[in-house]
Amino acid sequence: MRSVLRQLIVSLHLLVLASCRKPCGAEFELVSKEYQHGRSTICVIATGGTIQARGEDKKQKFNYKNSPAYGKTLFDQWASITNYNILVYQPWNIGSHEIKMHHTITLAKIVLRCITNGADGILITHGTDTMVETASIIQWLIGLRMKGIPIVFTGASNPSSAECSDGPENLDDALAVLANRGAKNRGVMILMNRLIFLAEHAVKHDAGRIGGLGGLEYGTVLDRRVSFHYPPSVSGAHSIPLEKVTNLTQRVVLVMGCQDMDIRALEAIVNTKPEAVVAAGVGDGWFPEDATAVLEDAAAQGILVIIAARSGKMARATLKEWQIPCYDLDYPKCLALTKLALWANYNWEDIQALLDGRGEEVIYKQDGRYSEGMSTLNAFEMSL
């Protein structure tokens, strides 16, 4: 009886702490003049990128620079913010080509804290070069703990100073998605140039024009009217619990296959003794015979060899026993997921299952329960 009472007291204490927290977190600043109860609360995390960059004049679309402007200024011009309580926090202001995995893991912790503190939606502004990788990692680390709350990434192809900047419309459309009732229970989404993508299914294919993101078209936004093409669902196929990613010292390297490949560079990489090699082969993941021999020797030395396709997803079934296939992810995502798996101390079997889309199975095997059944008020989240 005492243990039950003690557990009840602890649970009530945690609930009180959670209810006393400010929406999003103490470091977030309110954009509007005052917080209005009854309005949706949107936490905006600004990380830099073209959407915050500025050129020398309105005509300049390339060779612009990061603006020192704080993320809050993104919303200075748009009347649509009167419909929401918008709180903004900028943990860093860098181009997405400068983002490292420790940034993304920190971002995942910030997002999880926003969810725990009662945000109705989360908007992340980000450079488009590696937006797809960051959004996918957030999906993998906290996708099963989103509690139905929509998370949307957006950015811009032209700087904020350009007369044809697409940033303002993307921000407005992203807010429309977050406010839409149909946006719940859909996982991490990307909104760019009126199109909605799921993070794992998106790819950047063109750096020189507006609309350079592609992939499976998940929905559209036209004049703030949101249409989803598929029913709600949240995939845990590649999920890894955020709190397990603790050992960031293990190295994973990427090698690319090509015609007339010089294997001396590959041999030099293998000789550095990384924990894993993600080998993005040509076509359906193929390498020349001499390069394959080097990779096989690496596997014999205990180095994990992940086979991916340089062109995108891989379909072939003829693999050697020392090769771990990465079928349904392109090689940048495969590289990121392999790093997370090693940093979570996954073994060979677990990594193979994770890359095969059986992430929840690994979680169940390790913890004895699926992560979506985990309390959002556990010790890890309370420490964020």
Supply 152's token pair: 């949307």
DSSP 22: P
Q: List beta partners, residue 196.
A: 191, 219
The reported pTM is 0.87
Q: Which of 289-298, 308-317, 357-366 has the lowest mean pLDDT?
A: 308-317
Asked whether the beta carbons of 25 and 117 are under 8 A apart, the reply is yes
Q: What are the residue ranges spanned by the domains of the chain?
A: 18-228, 242-373
Q: Each residue of 96-110: b (16+ CB within 10 Å) or e?
A: beebebebbbebbbb
Dist. CA 119–CA 41, nearest whole Å: 6
State the fold for domain 242-373.
Rossmann fold (3.40.50)
Does the structure show a pLDDT above 70 at 117?
A: yes
Does the structure show a pLDDT above 80 at 76?
A: no
Q: Which residues contact 156 (CB under 8 A, 6 or more apart)?
A: 49, 50, 51, 128, 165, 166, 167, 170
Output the pLDDT for position 40.
87
Task: Quickly state the pLDDT bin for 46 (edges 50, 70, 90).
Answer: very high
List the CATH code of the domain at 18-228.
3.40.50.1170
Same fold, 18-228 and 242-373: yes
Annotated binding-site members for substrate: 96, 128-129
User: Residue type at 155?
Assistant: G
Dist. CA 64–CA 83, nearest whole Å: 32
Centre a 10 Å sphere on the Cβ of residue 320 and count the other Cβ atoms it contains: 11
Centre a 10 Å sphere on the Cβ of residue 334 and count the other Cβ atoms it contains: 28
Exposure of 288 in the CB half-sphere (CA atoms within 13 A):
11
Q: Which of 51-60, 78-87, 88-97, 308-317 has the lowest mean pLDDT?
A: 51-60
For residues 136 and 48, the model is more confident at 136
Q: Which residues are catalytic?
A: 50, 128
Output the pLDDT for position 51.
78
Does the structure show a pLDDT above 50 at 162?
A: yes
Task: Quickly state the pLDDT bin for 374 (edges 50, 70, 90).
Answer: very low
Output the pLDDT for position 346.
96
If DSSP codes are grouped into helix, strand and coil, which group holds residue 281? strand
Give mean pLDDT, residues 97-108.
95
* Tens-digit pLDDT profile for residues 205-264: 777 666 678 888 999 999 989 999 999 988 899 999 999 999 899 999 999 999 999 999
Q: What is the sign of the dihedral through the CA atoms of 51, 54, 57 and 63?
A: negative
Output the pLDDT for position 20.
42
Dist. CA 206–CA 93, nearest whole Å: 23
Looking at every residue in the chain, the average pLDDT score rounds to 84
Asked whether the beta carbons of 197 and 218 are under 8 A apart, the reply is yes
Instruction: For the chain, list the strands marked E by DSSP.
Output: 29-30, 40-46, 53-54, 65-66, 84-89, 121-125, 151-154, 188-192, 195-198, 202-204, 213-215, 219-222, 225-228, 252-256, 276-281, 304-309, 323-325
